[in-house]
Amino acid sequence: MPDFDVVPAPPVSPPTVALPPGACDAHSHVFGPFDRFPPLQSSVYALPDASPSVHAAAREKLGVRYGVLTQPAPYGNDPAAMLDAVRGSAGALKAVAATHSAIDDATLAAWRAGCICGLRFVEMRAPGGGRYPGSVGVEHLTALAPRMRALGLHAQLWAKAEDHAVLLPDLLKLGVPLVLDHMGCPDPARGADDPSFRAILAAMKSGQVWVKLSVCRVSRSGPDYPDVRPLHDALVVAAPDRLVWGSDWPYVRLDPAPDAGRLLDLFTTWLGDDDLRRRILADNPATLYGFGAAAD
């Protein structure tokens, strides 16, 4: 077992305006409990104490009914910690795992039965130019697509907008729903008219691509992220029924960490429309992830 440091998970504050029934945080992570689920590989960051109980307390404070966990890199391709959190959530959580195409059919089917709803593929590179430890490249999606279709799994993609623009034409032919992390990772300096970002908007309009509205990794100009606002607004105008909201809690590699309640307040202010807010927070994730109806 590699050595690792543990830090407290960042606190969250309640949003100013209560969330709609059935609200979902579509992107967060659990770590631990470390006595049962230590990291499987070395981490470039200190691991937050974000056990299932801490995660549940954060959801309750935010007023979030449902959540979708994404596999964190220190656990490699072993989703055991996430599956444990899902089992103890009374139906509140589902999860997105990471795996190579060599996974056997029985394991993949067991993951699906355990509320793994998607697989994540990463083309984003670490600051040194190499792959992040534990990440799985999009070439494995091509090989896994037939089995993913059969099991009803979606593909979650973390890549820069310019890479999405190159990859999407071929990936759209696979017949697997595509969910883009972190607003598709556009460059705020290029603005909403950047051709790569426009390619993402066009793919959303086709009805085959979803995007997560998670602003904090697209810009570091927090806590108000003004440079991201035009991109956020363009996504909402282009295809509001293809958007879900994600906090990215507990914010590894972000210092200072955002406050998820503050991010929800910012989201509410930017939208300025209760119907849109309900659709993105509740109705859309119910459709994408198969959670209960918004009135749950």
Task: Please identify every residue annotated as catalytic.
Answer: 248
Instruction: Output the CA torsion sign for 260, 6, 217, 160.
Output: negative
Whole-angstrom CA distances from 46 to 52, 125, 253 are 18, 19, 9
Residue type, 142: T
Cα 68 from Cα 55, distance rounded (Å): 11
| DSSP per-residue letters across the chain | -----EEEPPP----SSPPPTT-EEEEE-----TTTS--SS--SSPEEE--HHHHHHHHHHHT--EEEEE--GGGTT--HHHHHHHHTTTT-EEEEE---TT--HHHHHHHHHTTEEEEEEE--B-TTSSBPTT---THHHHHHHHHHHHHT-EEEEE--HHHHHHHHHHHGGG---EEESGGG---GGG-TT-HHHHHHHHHHHTTSEEEEE--TTT--STTT-GGGHHHHHHHHHH-GGGEEE---TT-TT-SSPP-HHHHHHHHHHHH--HHHHHIIIIIHHHHHH----TT-
Cα 39 from Cα 75, distance rounded (Å): 5
